[in-house]
Structure 1
Amino acid sequence: MKIVNQININTSIDKVWEILSGNFSEISSWTSAVVVSTENPDLPKGDGRKCELPDGAIASETLVNVDSGQHTFSYEVKLSSMPFFVRSMINTWKVEPVANGQSRVSFEIGVTLLPIFAQIMGVLMKRQFNKLAKVVLEELKVFSETGKVHPRKEEQIKLNIAKAA
């Protein structure tokens, strides 16, 4: 099952690429889909990240392909709470130039499910992943264009500060 979402961003391909790839382990600095992100200490430096998700799950993400010339990269996702019927999950990002200094960002989520569960859970998972992708892309757009986090992320930061106090 593949879920693909795209967004046009009013900034250069290089700026968006730096946010996504150059600062790969810092995804939590701009999206509310990730509470905390760090380099994955179990991998060589630069090969992956660990992300704490809003529901408390931990995503271990390992880069499997990076093509800086084509502005694309893929990583395998393993969740601490991965359902048994999910065989694999690979996310792919691609940044392309568009006219007038704009960039088009594509975010593809590829999930392999046990065959019987593909029919049962496929529609529900597609809906959930589409919603997630739209949030992430919208927040990337705001951050790329303004240098400021989206109000959702701002609220998450305030809640985390309040919890820590």
Structure 2
Amino acid sequence: MFKPLLKTYMAIAISGIFFASCTSTNVPETGVASMPPRIIGVLNVDQFTQAPLQVAYTAHLEAAPQKVFDAVSSAGLTKGHVIKSDVKGGILAWSGVEGHLGVIHLMMTPDGGTGISWSSFFSHKDAKNMNVKKMDYIETKVNEWIGKYGGRFTGAAYGTEQLSIISDVVIDIPADKVWAASADNFGSVDQWSSTVGKVDGYGSGADAGRTCYVNMPGNPSVDEKIVSYNKKNMTFTYTIAGAVMPPFVTNALNTWTLKDLGNGKTHVRAHMKIHTVQGAPAPAVGMVKGQFFQMLSMGMEEFDYYVEIGNPHPRKQTSIEIMKKQMEKQ
């Protein structure tokens, strides 16, 4: 029963509904050309084995890419065939047993450190438990590098029927001001999000909600409503529904949690939980995982920029210009 839904959702994803065209999660446009050819665009599957994206993990390391690449390439991860090992492009890809494809992408960050993105593609008869094991393994290895070089976790996407998608940022603004810009300004996401062109907001605090119109032809809408609001603990949760959600998703929530780090700094975590129907095609679930991870990571980066700088991220203006050109062609 899911084959028609999968074909429909693949068509939606290819058309850009999830605002992504990279060949791996959380990889900037400049890195696309250096990715291994086995990954099929926005579908997030290995074209040789049809293995879907199962786990994605990102972190920031306080060491130069060359040093990190040397550590990663000598860590004994590539048990199998090395597809690509390119220190200049910051890419390490390998295939292993049971149709596994691993991809690590490194990129220099503005502070001279390294952003690391690790994606794992595989098919397995017990994908649920294997997903957890792979996530634990990746987290352990990355934490070893964080312990060695310094740094922090920045995001992850994992799970099979119940997906967890996380993005972390540290903002150089006091927590009360970050709360005011997020929870207390819930209906104004269009001020900073490059994916949202217009918002119809209503209510405030625990009663706030919004309908977001996406920056793409047809302006599909997303309905979001706060269902939990705790100003004392600086956390709020909202539901996500609407045209951009694939038909096999039964429920989606996003929880923002703020933590005052002192010295005018705030840690912000966005944690999406997406529930799918039992038996949904693994490639389609992997697609959702990868595209929402990229969307959430981009959104948090744009929110960070907006709150710190006071102006929208450059992607916001770019998205407006692209949308205008698309509308002119219609």
**What TM-score comes out, normalization by structure 1 length?**
0.88
Q: Describe the superposition over 1:116-140 as per-residue Cα deviations: whole angstroms up to 9, x where unpaired.
A: 1163433221111110111111111
Say whether 1:60 aligns with 2:223.
yes
* The structure with more radius of gyration: 2
| Paired residue total | 160
Say whether 1:19 aligns with 2:200.
no
Aligned counterparts, 1:141-152, within 5 A: 141-152=304-315
C-alpha distance in 2 between matches for 1:78 and 1:38:
15
- Residue 160 (structure 1) shift: 5.5
- Residue 156 (structure 1) shift: 2.8
- Residue 3 (structure 1) shift: 0.6
Point out 4+ residue stretches in structure 1 off by more than 3 angstroms. 157-164
Gaps of 5+ in 2: 1-162
Q: Secondary structure at the match of 1:76?
A: strand
* CA distance 1:54–1:160, change in 2 (3 Å): closer
Aligned counterparts, 1:38-77, within 5 A: 38-40=200-202, 45-46=203-204, 47-55=208-216, 56-77=219-240
Q: Describe the superposition over 1:22-42 as per-residue Cα deviations: whole angstroms up to 9, x where unpaired.
A: 1100000011021111215xx
Q: Which residue of 2 aligns with 1:37?
A: 199
Q: Which amino acid in the other structure matches residue 176 of structure 2?
A: D
2:195/2:319 contact within 8 Å kept: no
Gaps of 5+ in 1: none
Q: Which amino acid in the other structure matches residue 190 of structure 2?
A: S
C-alpha distance in 2 between matches for 1:137 and 1:84:
26
C-alpha distance in 2 between matches for 1:71 and 1:107:
12
* CA distance 1:150–1:84, change in 2 (3 Å): same
Q: Which residue of 2 aligns with 1:131?
A: 294
* CA distance 1:57–1:13, change in 2 (3 Å): same
Q: Secondary structure at the match of 1:141?
A: helix
Say whether 1:2 aligns with 2:152.
no
- Residue 83 (structure 1) shift: 2.1
C-alpha distance in 2 between matches for 1:107 and 1:118:
26
Q: Secondary structure at the match of 1:2?
A: strand
